[in-house]
Amino acid sequence: MNKQHVSPIKRRVSRKIWVGDVPVGGDAPIAVQSMTNTETCDVDATVGQIEQLQQAGADLVRVSVPSMDAAEAFGAIRKRVSLPLIADIHFDYKIALRVAELGVDCLRINPGNIGREDRVRAVVEAARDRNIPIRIGVNAGSLEKDLQKKYGEPTPEALVESAMRHIDILDRLDFQNFKLSLKASDVFMTVAAYRQIASQIEQPLHLGITEAGGLRSGTVKSSVGLGMLLMDGIGDTLRVSLAADPVEEIKVGFDILKSLRLRNKGINFIACPSCSRQNFDVIGTMNALESRLEDVLTPLDVAVIGCVVNGPGEAKEADLGLTGGSPSNLIYVDGKPDHKVQNDTLVDHYEQLIRRKIAEKEAEEALVIARSE
């Protein structure tokens, strides 16, 4: 099949780091992450949410650790889940030391906020001893007071200067195993800040538009902001911040990457918006298929097109295609017309066909892997 799965984007070359067993940077796929919003001390609820995020395809999950009680809970959570976990810590170096002992995969802590030099050194040494990377996270909402004064308000330059302060501390301790984020809720500021820092350091960049908004508005803002950076080749991992179920953050993150052909996880639907020419209910069919096939992680191009105006053309480029017709609709398999289907059995039939195709693809891939071993 003529697949257009290879992205023309030339990615910025960054140093590869490892968050648990997930590579970030270098030639690694852009990792998609989210953050739990349960009470961390509620271990069952947090484990449950991490499992939901894993099912949705998350590569990494961040958990906020605001207290020593939460650090102990983090240890219990760590034992029960397989995804790499990032502990989100502000200021308290003792929490960082404790989660390092308990098995954290990455520490999100800003060295400049830890305080005394001996404390910074203790955290960095604990990270070094256990090969734990640090994520420096600069946020326009919590910029240092002197930088706010110097620049008058948060600016891209202020974000970069703040980041360089944290980086300098790690440099002095000869610690290079870190990644960096520079987030603002404003798209222009975020994009400008990342563009500036991208050429100044070699470490991987974690992308995000912070406090982006609710499901729809935050998705749009994140898609625009992250899209511009990804098009520039910038970004090694991303989190879409939504005031919504974190599972949505994962889905949107993958959809952004899929739209730029940077990751191919799950079904890539090609659907027309429908109009009076449609020969079946395109929107109803799409909604049903999307919700029934949410569990699928194997990449597959599936076209759902209401009539022959665009149907055959799109179907030819997809793994499976459905083109509306009268008196019956036409199904394409691997770009070729294959058989007809009536409206009343359409959704059930197409779902079965998609699942069969996925099973075939997975079996083929397993064979390739077995042969290469």
Q: How far is CA 290 from CA 151, 293, 295, in A?
A: 47, 5, 10
Task: Give Cβ neighbours of residue 222 (< 8 Å, ≥ 6 apart).
Answer: 208, 209, 212, 240, 241, 242, 252, 256
Q: How far apart are the C-alpha atoms of 259 and 273, rounded to whole Å? A: 17
* Measured CA angle at 299 (ends 298, 303), to 5 deg: 125
343 scored as a contact of ligand SF4 (CB under 6 A): no
Whichever of 185 and 274 has its CB closer to ligand SF4, that residue is: 274
277 scored as a contact of ligand SF4 (CB under 6 A): yes
Q: How far apart are the C-alpha atoms of 195 and 77, rounded to whole Å? A: 36
Task: Give Cβ neighbours of residue 19 (< 8 Å, ≥ 6 apart).
Answer: 31, 60, 84, 86, 105, 106, 133
13 scored as a contact of ligand SF4 (CB under 6 A): no
318 scored as a contact of ligand SF4 (CB under 6 A): no
Using Cβ positions, the residue closest to ligand SF4 within the complex turns out to be 306
Q: How far apart are the C-alpha atoms of 77 and 300, rounded to whole Å? A: 34
Instruction: Return the range that interacts with ligand SF4 (CB under 6 A); candidates 75-83, 166-174, 301-309, 344-352.
Output: 301-309
Of 310, 312, 316, 361, the one binding ligand SF4 (CB under 6 A) is 310
305 scored as a contact of ligand SF4 (CB under 6 A): yes
309 scored as a contact of ligand SF4 (CB under 6 A): yes
Q: Output the six-digit token pair for 65.
A: 């650790």
272 scored as a contact of ligand SF4 (CB under 6 A): yes
**What's the min distance (Å) between Cβ of 319 and ligand SF4?**
19
Q: Count Cβ atoms within 10 A of the Cβ of residue 224 and give its class: 0-12 exposed, 13-18 middle, 19 or more buried.
A: middle
Strand 336-341 with 329-333, pairing: antiparallel
Whichever of 178 and 332 has its CB closer to ligand SF4, that residue is: 332
313 scored as a contact of ligand SF4 (CB under 6 A): no
Containing H/E element for 144?
Answer: none
**What's the min distance (Å) between Cβ of 300 and ligand SF4?**
21
Whichever of 244 and 309 has its CB closer to ligand SF4, that residue is: 309
**What's the min distance (Å) between Cβ of 347 and ligand SF4?**
17
Binding mask 163-202 vs ligand SF4 (x if CB under 6 A, - otherwise)? ----------------------------------------
306 scored as a contact of ligand SF4 (CB under 6 A): yes
Q: How far apart are the C-alpha atoms of 346 and 367, rounded to whole Å? A: 32
Bridge partners (DSSP) listed for residue 301:
268
89 scored as a contact of ligand SF4 (CB under 6 A): no
Residue count, binding to ligand SF4 (CB under 6 A): 11
Of 49, 203, 219, 274, the one binding ligand SF4 (CB under 6 A) is 274
**What's the min distance (Å) between Cβ of 305 and ligand SF4?**
5
* Measured CA angle at 76 (ends 71, 81), to 5 deg: 115
Site residues for ligand SF4 per CB under 6 A:
272-275, 277-278, 305-307, 309-310
